[in-house]
């Protein structure tokens, strides 16, 4: 290679951004998130600071990265019988200053912001 030749990248890979951890929602819930290597997301959310008696939900989704490197999470959530609620829908979140901030919902999902606590 000569001094003026620049190698051309044949692909570009976004650096991994790991969302795995415990998160507190502004709805009083605790969310346990697992971010897998293939950018799949699973979570369980429990109301009342983690007891889950009012609502417990699960989400299956995926993480994507836009052209600017912003991290986006989208998926389908469902309430499960541990709590009394029986909702479901589609959610979208983006990572802003380390928090997950809701950008889209198809139906009544309480949390607007999740903050990592561990």
Domains and CATH numbers, the chain: 21-116 (2.40.128)
Give pLDDT tens digits for 75-99.
999 999 999 999 999 999 999 999 9
Predicted local confidence at residue 69, as pLDDT? 82
Region 1-20: mean pLDDT is: 63
Q: Which residue has the higher pLDDT, 97 or 68?
A: 97
Task: Name, in order, each residue with C-beta under 8 angstroms of 56's C-beta and a sequence gap of 6 or more.
Answer: 44, 45, 46, 47, 79, 80, 81, 82, 83
- Exposure letters 91-103 (e unless 16+ CB within 10 A, then b): bebbbeeeebbbe
Give pLDDT tens digits for 19-61.
999 999 999 999 999 999 889 999 999 999 999 999 999 999 9
The pLDDT of residue 66 is above 80: yes
């Amino acid at each position: 290679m000569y001094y003026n030749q620049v190698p051309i990248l044949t692909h570009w890979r976004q650096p991994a951004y790991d969302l795995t951890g415990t998160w507190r929602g502004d709805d009083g819930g605790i969310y346990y998130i697992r971010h897998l290597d293939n950018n799949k997301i699973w979570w369980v959310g429990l109301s009342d600071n983690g007891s889950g008696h009012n609502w417990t939900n699960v989400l299956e989704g995926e993480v994507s990265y836009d052209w600017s490197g912003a991290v986006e999470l989208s998926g389908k959530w469902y309430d499960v019988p541990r709590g009394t609620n029986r909702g479901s829908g589609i959610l979208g979140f983006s990572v802003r200053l380390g928090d997950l901030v809701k950008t889209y919902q198809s139906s009544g999902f309480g949390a607007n912001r999740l903050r990592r606590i561990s």
